[in-house]
Structures are given as C-alpha cells and as structure tokens.
Amino acid sequence: MKKSVTAKAFAMLMSAGFVAGCSSTGETVEEEGYGSDVAAIDQDGGSTVYGGADGDGVSSTTLTDEERQAAREQAEQQALRDITVFYFDFDTSEIKQDARDVLVAHARHLADNPRTQVRLEGHADERGTKEYNLALGERRANAIQRFLIVNGASRGQIETVSYGEEKPVVRGATESAHAQNRRVELVFK
C-alpha cells in the first residue's frame, strides 16, 4: 500500500509538473497592462513568478534539495489526506491494512492543527437489522477514532456518528453495492 500511495502521489506531482511545463512557451507577454517582466521561464531554465512593484519574484531554481524534498513530502501527505472514505469487510470493524498509512496522515494533520475538527460517519450495508447496523456503523467509526488518537489526534477533535444502513452511497443488493456501503467517512469541519 505504501508503495502504491507513494507511486500515486509521485505520479500526481509529475502530471502537475508536466501540465505546468506544457502550458508555458517561454515567450515574453507584451500585452496592455503587462511589462516584459512576465516571462514564464528565466534564463537558467527555472520558472519564476514575478510580482509587486519591486519586480522580485520566487524562483524554483533557488530551492535547496531539502526544500524540494520537504515540498514533495508535503504533497504526498496532502494526497493521502484527500482520501476520506475507508471501507470495511462484511460484518467487521477491523481497519484494513491499506488504510493505515492514510489514517496516519490524517492523525498527523489533526495533531498539527489542534483546531481542526472531524466527524467520523459510520455506515453499514443493508444486511442485518437496523439496530445491528447502527451498532456496526458505530463500532467502525470508533475503530477509526481509536486509530487516529493512538497516532496523535486529540479525542476532542473527533466526533463519531453512526448512520447504519440509512445513508447508502449505492443502492442495490449486489456485493459491489454492499462493499461500497460498508464504510466510514471523514468529514472535516
């Protein structure tokens, strides 16, 4: 999972870089309201963003290797935090192994941002009684809550709620529909 998430984050970074690189021609824009300091590429091949009255800008050529690595790690953590739905196997509240790295990223974010609040919404598929599914959704949300707290989040930042089978994301009695409905969603406030 870690390699998969890292590969996905790297692919996202490379795609963004490719799109950004393809969108600039290196030509200077000479339009009304713009001066010759709006070049997309500087003489050394790095990109520079100019602004302000003094003409100073921020250049990617001035980043150190440590700053680039930190930016890369921050982008990877953000990509992990973009995942906010966690799925469960039938009739269990055990967190899947592939969800753990993502949940650790969420826990670190919560620990680093103590004013951030999150609601954990537990869900179940339609099999079982309403009462049983409400309890199962609650066990799932509580399992995620415990994991987040163990990994640095504060109990006061987290609220849990169970909807049981009441809010399916997919309607139907197929295994695919059931699998998509057995979940906990993180809703940040």
Q: Are residues 13 and 89 in the same domain?
A: no
User: For 174-184, what is each residue's pLDDT tens digit?
Assistant: 999 999 999 99
Amino acid at 52: G
For residue 125, being part of any structural domain is answered with yes
% of the chain exceeding 70 in pLDDT:
68
Q: Strand 48-50 vs strand 57-59: parallel, antiparallel, or unpaired?
A: antiparallel
For residue 91, being part of any structural domain is answered with yes
CATH of the domain at 153: 3.30.1330.60
Contacts of 95 (CB under 8 A, 6+ apart): 86, 88, 103, 143, 144, 147
For residue 74, being part of any structural domain is answered with no
Q: Which of 94, 162, 175 is nearest to 133 (CA)?
A: 162
Q: Are residues 88 and 132 in the same domain?
A: yes
Q: Are residues 49 and 97 in the same domain?
A: no
Under the banding of pLDDT at 50, 70 and 90, the label for residue 80 is confident
Written as six digits, the tokens of 104 are: 């650790």
- Residue range(s) defining the domain that contains residue 13: 2-63
For residue 68, being part of any structural domain is answered with no
Under the banding of pLDDT at 50, 70 and 90, the label for residue 70 is confident
Q: Are residues 89 and 168 in the same domain?
A: yes
Number of domains in the chain: 2
Q: Are residues 92 and 168 in the same domain?
A: yes
Could you tell me the CA-to-CA distances from 4 to 35, 46, 107, 162 in Å, in that order? Answer: 45, 30, 20, 30
